Structure 1
Amino acid sequence: MSIAVDYADFAARELRGVSPAYERLALAVSRDDELLTLLGTLPPTKRQPNLLFGVVRLLGGPVEDPAAFHDFAVTHWPAVQAEMRVRATQTNEAGRCAVLLPLLAALPQPLALLEVGASAGLCLYPDRYAYRYGDQRLGAGEPVLECTADALVPPTRLPDVVWRAGLDLNPLDVTDTADLAWLNALIWPEHAHRRERLRAAAEVAAAEPPLLVRGDLVDDLPALAAQAPADATLVVFHTSVLYQVPQPRRAAFVDLVRELPGHWISNEAPDVLAYEGLPEQPGRALHNVLGLDGRPLAWTRGHGQSMVWFG
């Protein structure tokens, strides 16, 4: 798929009705020969819209007006491409806990959580946040994570988490100003509620920092998993991570995680982690598939804002 098609598809499937500013930008870039040529000089994994837009925001560039965005990106391309080469889209959206919670709450308690691609580890605190599924609220913490859940009886209890750890090639620290600035830059312009959610979740993580290990999802996963308490249910989970992993490495990870004790929760796009016999996807918007131990159970949106249960 060409870079232009990638940007146009991103505008149609992820941004339409969700971020008008980024929809305009993605469509403009898809038709911008100069920017497409510059993006073509980057490795394929470094060309995605979220990375480009986040880096321009981090550098103080404009994202509301496509013409101004073009001028800034082209003029400052050496700085833009340098940041894009060393950074990754580590969107640490705590809202994703809302689609993980129904599975976490149903597993044998207590839990030992291990997130692959953990970023700053904000999804390692599902027991500390509050949730609202329609009219039903669960928990008393902050932030409150809202999720529209179709064909699902919402959970009635929070999980009991006794151990939490994350594995990432570049773990982030929410107490570090530069790391927090990058997490903020990855949030889409109109999403003030997500910036507030990031602030509240970062306070939770800062009060009790998780164990975050710099490492590879295949080479270093067994050793970290072995540190989990033996009397807790190990849960290895990941959300919107495997698209950044080359296919052979992705397959090796799936083989490995299936052999570990405990359970495996995946939340990835269907073209990244494939399943046979999936029901029709709800609408044109991009959805992930929530799975437990390799069994697909629900369609979910990328920020945890909705899910459609079919399992």
Structure 2
Amino acid sequence: MTTADRYAEFAARETHGISPTYERLSYAVAADAELLALIGTVPPDKQQPNLLFAVARSLGGPVQDPDAFRAWIRAHWTAIESRLRTRATQTNEAGRCAVLLPVLAALPQPLALLEVGASAGLCLYPDRYAYRYGPHTLGVGTPVLECAATGLVPPAALPRVVWRAGLDLNPLDVTDPEDLAWLDALIWPEHGHRRARLREAAAVVAADPPLLVRGDLVDDLPALAAQAPADATLVVLHTSVLYQVPPPRRAAFAELVTALPGHWVANEAAEVLADGPLPAPPDDALYNVLSLDGKPLAWTRSHGQALTWFG
């Protein structure tokens, strides 16, 4: 897939109907040979549309007008390139807990959660958030995570979590203003509800911080997993992480995690992890596949806003 194709696909499958601003910018970049050439000077994993747009927003760039955006990128490329190389798409969307919850609530309780690619750890608190699945509500307080769930009865109770830890190459700290600003920049421009949700979830995390460890998902996972209490069900989980990991490393991780005690909950793009045939997705939008111990269970949208169960 070319860089132009990547931006056009991001426009058509991820942002269409969700972020008109990023849809316009993506198509504009896809059609601009000069910008594509600049983007091509950074490593492939730094060419992601969401990363470029977040970097631009974090540097005060204009994103509402494609022409102004393209001119600004050209004029500020040195600063943009530097930040592209040092930052990563660490979107820490607490809303994803809404699609993880049906699986987590059904596992033997209590749970010891270990998230790979944890960012700031917001998805380690599924037991502390409130949920709304259509008319069905669960939990109290904020944030309230809304999810359009099809094909299943939502869980009747929250999971009980007694230990939570995260592993990340660059853990973020919600009490650090610079880290919180980067998490904010990763949220799409029109998504004020996600911006409010970030701050509500960050308050939950700051009140009871998890164990966040800087490390590699293969080399450092066994030692962190060994710290989980023996009387809890270990759950290694991750969402929208493995697309950033080279295929041989993904395979090594999958082999490792299946050998650990407990369970493995993944929420990743179909082409990244799923093995074998899947039912057709609900529509042409981009979906992740929710799986338990390698068994696909549901289609999910990237921010946790929808779940279609087929398992």
The TM-score with structure 2 as length reference comes to 1.00
Q: How far did residue 72 of structure 1 move?
A: 1.1
Residue type at the aligned position of 1:134: G
Asked whether the equivalents of residues 274 and 289 of structure 2 are also in contact (C-alpha less than 8 Å), the reply is no
Residue aligning to 1:212: 212
Identical aligned pairs, as a percentage?
Answer: 74
Q: Distance in 1 between matches of 2:46 and 2:299?
A: 27
* Distance in 1 (alpha carbons) for counterparts of 2:277 and 2:7: 28
Pairs within 5 Å for 1:1-311: 1-311=1-311
CA displacement at 1:274 relative to structure 2: 2.5
The one-letter amino acid paired with 2:270 is P
Report the 3-state secondary structure (helix = DSSP H, G, I; strand = E; otherwise coil) of the residue aligned with 2:307: strand
SS in 1 for 2:97: helix
Give the secondary structure class of the aligned counterpart of 2:149: strand
Q: Matches of 1:156 and 1:212 in 2, distance apart?
A: 30
- One-letter code aligned to 2:146: E
2:288 partner letter: N
Deviations along 1:33-75, whole A, 9 cap, x unmatched? 1110000101011000000000000001011111111111110
Gaps of 5+ in 1: none
**Superposition misfits of 4+ residues, deviation over 3 angstroms:** none
Partner SS, residue 237 of structure 1: strand
- In structure 2, distance between residues paired with 1:81 and 1:58: 13
Question: Deviation at 1:222?
Answer: 0.2
Secondary structure at the aligned position of 1:27 is classed as helix
Partners of 2:182 and 2:66 in 1: CA distance? 21
- Residue identity opposite 2:250 in structure 1: R
Query: Any conservation in 1 of the 2:274–2:294 contact (CA below 8 Å)?
Result: no
The CA RMSD measured in Å over matched residues stands at 0.4
The answer to whether the Cα contact below 8 Å between 2:289 and 2:297 also exists between their aligned partners in 1 is yes
Q: Secondary structure at the match of 1:216?
A: coil
Instruction: Output the CA distance in 2 between the equivalents of 1:156 and 1:17.
Output: 32
Question: Helix, strand or coil for the counterpart of 1:145?
Answer: strand
* Structure 2 unaligned blocks of 5 or more: none
Deviations along 1:13-34, whole A, 9 cap, x unmatched? 0000000000000000000111
Cα deviation, residue 294, structure 1: 0.3
Quick check: 2:240–2:268 contact (8 Å CA) kept in 1?
A: yes
- Per-residue deviation, residues 165-223 of structure 1 (Å, max 9, x unmatched): 00000000000000000000000000000000000000000000110000000000000
The residue type equivalent to 2:107 in the other structure is L
Q: Distance in 2 between matches of 1:164 and 1:35?
A: 42
Q: Displacement of 1:275 after TM fit?
A: 2.2
User: Once the 2 structures are TM-superposed, how far is the Cα of residue 156 of structure 1 from its aligned partner?
Assistant: 0.4
Deviations 1:89-137 (A, max 9, x none): 0000000000000000000000000000000000000000000000010
1:112 partner amino acid: A
Determine helix, strand or coil for the equivalent of 2:272: coil
1:192 and 1:64 map into 2 onto residues whose CA distance is: 15
